[in-house]
Structure 1
Amino acid sequence: MTVQLYARDVGTGTPLVLLHAFPLSSAMWLAQREGLAARFRVITPDLRGFGGSLLGPEDPSIDVMADDVARLFQRIGVRRAVVGGLSMGGYVAMALCRRHPGLVLGAVLAGTRATADSGPVREARLRQAERLEGEEGVQVLVDDVLPNLVGPTTLQRRALVYGRVRGLVQATPPQAAAWAQRAMAGRADSFGTLRGLKVPALVMVGDEDVLATEEEARAMVEALPNAELLVIPRAGHLSAVEQPDLFNQAVAEFAAALARTSH
């Protein structure tokens, strides 16, 4: 059984495929669909098990998630796209660059890292997966993951944004979250992929991000042959949700430059 990803698909122009963070869904890209659809075809899939996409029987794997996205390209008639991913979406975007490089016109990697998990991080993910499978609900995500998704500025000054993120976390299907944690725990280092990337990349990180740090973002930029770094002020892990205008402006400039050179 191959999973068909549910995707929101708005606007026209150069395709921009945005892959969501854990443990959210494509609903997190609302400000990107609204802000970028006037200039680009904005495609925001729900990764397998999240939002409107089924989980399927496959073993947990970031590569499986990347192959799902490649099949989506084919289904909706997209030959090449600027592919952006935030956090877990960044892991999937890097796997797509490795497994299906011909689909990628440029890469936007936000709030993500190219290293594999350290032992303690991997163990924490697997513990969470077991709790998610054993308990009826996602309280472990609300307790352990939600506090690090947004920065202190958002907590103090953007109550509506925090409330929205909290609602998205609470809506996560527990089985999907467990599957995704196992997939992330098993992922390999992606620095080889970055070093071999033939297309330009934009790496973004929130200056208040404690999950994917500016240091890790700089290491990615150093590995990439053609990349720029943007540090987004007063944003934590979910820069696209916390500072959508800055995020959208950077992505629009990056994608527009690619569109000019690819014709």
Structure 2
Amino acid sequence: MGPPGAPEYGGPMTQPPSAVSVRESGTGTPLVLLHAFPLNAAMWSAQLDELPGPAGDRARVIAPDQRGFGGAGLGSGEPSLEAVADDVVRLLDAAGIDRAVLGGISMGGYVAMAFAERHPDRLAGLLLANTKATADPRAARENRERIASAVLARDSVRLLLDERMANGQLGPDSQHLADRVREMIAAAPPAAVAWAQRAMAARPERLDVLAGLRVPAAVVAGAEDALMPLAEAELMTRALPDAELTVLPGVGHLSAIEAPEAFDAVALRLLERVAAE
């Protein structure tokens, strides 16, 4: 269960989690930020503090925990990023928000693209960071299933923790953040990790979805991201009709944590473009 006051999700679209934990700050243009795998909404602390601005009216920043992570329930549905995208719609409905700018990093980007496909009328702008619109090749899908099966069998995320930290989660200039990232990974429940791995393995290519969008967009890549090649960011930027690409030097896979000021500058520029529409 989420914390006291967390909105209850329901409705016919999916079998929802029991509740969701949501962090929110500021007023103004709604900006929903979707966290990376296997972290939680705590990764957005810098954005929650800074993006609303000194008066708090520059943006309404909303950072939910996705299914099974942080304070969110996992629910009983089959693994599906589409289900998580539908959760975001319920969050908007509960908050009285018609349209929002959606920002996602890594797995959060996958969810944001599923949202764009299923609910384009609710999208005011799109920020995609350290993510890709292509589907996993067979080897990657098999590796996701290997990890899912292992964490469930062992009832531990230690395998995932070791592999993520060893395989380029952080850029060379960001190793001082390793303990913070390890803490969030270690807090991920094995059931949520397995569910999310299987949901990500099942996702389709969505370059055609991006090509059909008519909203301002921004793409962020880490120059030292060993998990997400720069070529994937370039593919998304070319597919999107109105997108700006920013490559952050010295940054790995978690750009919002590693370079919060640079990431926030991209988000603010996108909010300005949305406001000018």
- Which bin holds the TM-score, normalised by the shorter protein? over 0.9
Q: Is the partner of 2:126 in helix, strand or coil?
A: strand
1:116 to 113, 117, 135: 135
The residue number in structure 2 matching 1:85 is: 104
Query: Aligned ranges for residues 181-260 of structure 1 at < 5 Å?
Result: 181-260=197-276
Q: Is the partner of 1:106 in helix, strand or coil?
A: strand
Asked if 2 retains the 8 angstrom alpha-carbon contact of 1:5 and 1:69, the reply is no
The residue number in structure 2 matching 1:94 is: 113
Asked if 1 retains the 8 angstrom alpha-carbon contact of 2:74 and 2:192, the reply is yes
Asked if 2 retains the 8 angstrom alpha-carbon contact of 1:81 and 1:105, the reply is yes
State the Cα distance separating 1:214 from its structure 2 match: 1.1
Q: Is the partner of 1:84 in helix, strand or coil?
A: strand
Q: How does the TM-score come out when normalised to structure 2? A: 0.91
CA distance in structure 1 between the partners assigned to 2:228 and 2:250 by the alignment: 15
1:197 maps to a residue whose letter is L
Asked if 2 retains the 8 angstrom alpha-carbon contact of 1:201 and 1:226, the reply is yes
Q: For structure 1, which runs of at least 5 residues remain unmatched after alignment?
A: none
Q: Is the partner of 2:24 in helix, strand or coil?
A: strand
Q: Deviations over 1:63-87 (max 9, x none)?
A: 1110111111101111111100000
1:248 maps to a residue whose letter is D
State the Cα distance separating 1:237 from its structure 2 match: 0.3
The residue number in structure 2 matching 1:53 is: 72
Q: Does 1:151 align with 2:171?
A: yes
The residue number in structure 2 matching 1:2 is: 16
State the Cα distance separating 1:260 from its structure 2 match: 3.0
The residue number in structure 2 matching 1:75 is: 94
Q: Deviations over 1:14-62 (max 9, x none)?
A: 0000000000000000010011122210000000100010000000011
State the Cα distance separating 1:210 from its structure 2 match: 1.1
CA distance in structure 1 between the partners assigned to 2:200 and 2:98 by the alignment: 27
Q: How does the TM-score come out when normalised to structure 1? A: 0.95
Q: Is the partner of 1:167 in helix, strand or coil?
A: helix
CA distance in structure 1 between the partners assigned to 2:273 and 2:212 by the alignment: 21
Asked if 1 retains the 8 angstrom alpha-carbon contact of 2:216 and 2:273, the reply is no
Q: For structure 2, which runs of at least 5 residues remain unmatched after alignment?
A: 1-14
CA distance in structure 2 between the partners assigned to 1:114 and 1:190 by the alignment: 5
The residue number in structure 2 matching 1:37 is: 52
Which structure is higher in helix share?
1
Q: Is the partner of 2:236 in helix, strand or coil?
A: helix
The residue number in structure 1 matching 2:82 is: 63
Asked if 2 retains the 8 angstrom alpha-carbon contact of 1:86 and 1:111, the reply is yes
CA distance in structure 1 between the partners assigned to 2:143 and 2:31 by the alignment: 33
State the Cα distance separating 1:149 from its structure 2 match: 1.3
CA distance in structure 2 between the partners assigned to 1:54 and 1:242 by the alignment: 28
Number of residue pairs the alignment of both structures matches: 257
Q: Is the partner of 1:116 in helix, strand or coil?
A: coil
Which 4+ residue blocks in structure 1 deviate beyond 3 angstroms?
none
State the Cα distance separating 1:233 from its structure 2 match: 1.2
2:77 maps to a residue whose letter is E
Asked if 1 retains the 8 angstrom alpha-carbon contact of 2:28 and 2:59, the reply is yes
Q: Is the partner of 1:225 in helix, strand or coil?
A: coil
2:185 maps to a residue whose letter is V
Asked if 1 retains the 8 angstrom alpha-carbon contact of 2:219 and 2:244, the reply is yes
Asked if 2 retains the 8 angstrom alpha-carbon contact of 1:133 and 1:178, the reply is yes
State the Cα distance separating 1:2 from its structure 2 match: 2.4
1:177 to 190, 193, 213: 193
The residue number in structure 1 matching 2:155 is: 136
CA distance in structure 2 between the partners assigned to 1:191 and 1:93 by the alignment: 13
